């Protein structure tokens, strides 16, 4: 049994892919993603919450700001990578997890157990990454 809190935001990027499997997406194109970020814990903290929703929203916004309105092909950390929806879900997971470890969500994070990041490409397609928190 787990308690879950989810916040939602969005970001827009441009990118291209390498490999014939991507067809026309090998050319530069844009994408707008709606991002759902879920944090889970088996027990509520001493304040009766999973996490401060405002702080979680701010954390997600800060991570997405690093990517928003960027051509990912031009970012050195993504050179020679296909920045697929699946890849970006993991990238956002890792960036948020690092901010959690830095204490950006406050002092009551010890009970947080897992996180899930869902990138919605449209109403009909999405990809996600889910993992345990340290």
DSSP, collapsed to helix, strand or coil, labels residue 59 as helix
pLDDT tens per residue across span 32-43: 999 999 999 999
Instruction: Show the DSSP H helices in the chain as ranges.
Output: 53-65, 85-101
In order of 47, 69, 73, 113, the CA distances from 26 in angstroms are: 49, 19, 11, 38
- What's the CATH fold of domain 9-19+28-48+61-132? Tetrahydropterin Synthase; Chain A (3.30.479)
What is the arithmetic mean of pLDDT over 68-78? 97
Q: How far apart are CA 105 and CA 32, in angstroms?
A: 26
pLDDT tens per residue across span 111-120: 999 999 999 9
What is the arithmetic mean of pLDDT over 21-39? 97
Residue whose token pair is 């092909």: 73
Q: How far apart are CA 10 and CA 34, in angstroms?
A: 4
* pLDDT at residue 108, as a whole number: 85
Is 27 a residue whose pLDDT tops 90?
yes
Is 52 a residue whose pLDDT tops 90?
yes
What is the arithmetic mean of pLDDT over 75-92? 97
pTM: 0.96
């Amino acid at each position: 049994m787990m308690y879950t809190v989810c916040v939602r935001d969005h970001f827009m990027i441009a990118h291209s892919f390498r490999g014939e499997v991507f067809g026309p997406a090998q050319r530069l194109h844009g994408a707008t993603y709606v991002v759902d970020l879920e944090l889970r814990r088996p027990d509520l903290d001493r304040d009766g919450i999973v996490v401060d929703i405002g702080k979680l929203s701010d954390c997600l916004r800060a991570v997405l700001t690093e990517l928003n309105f960027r051509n990912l092909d031009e970012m050195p950390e993504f050179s020679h990578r296909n920045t697929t929806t699946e890849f970006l879900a993991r990238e956002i997971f890792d960036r948020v997890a690092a901010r959690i470890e830095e204490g950006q969500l406050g002092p009551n994070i010890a009970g947080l157990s897992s996180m899930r990041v869902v990138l919605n490409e449209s109403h009909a397609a999405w990809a996600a990454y889910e993992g345990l928190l340290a």
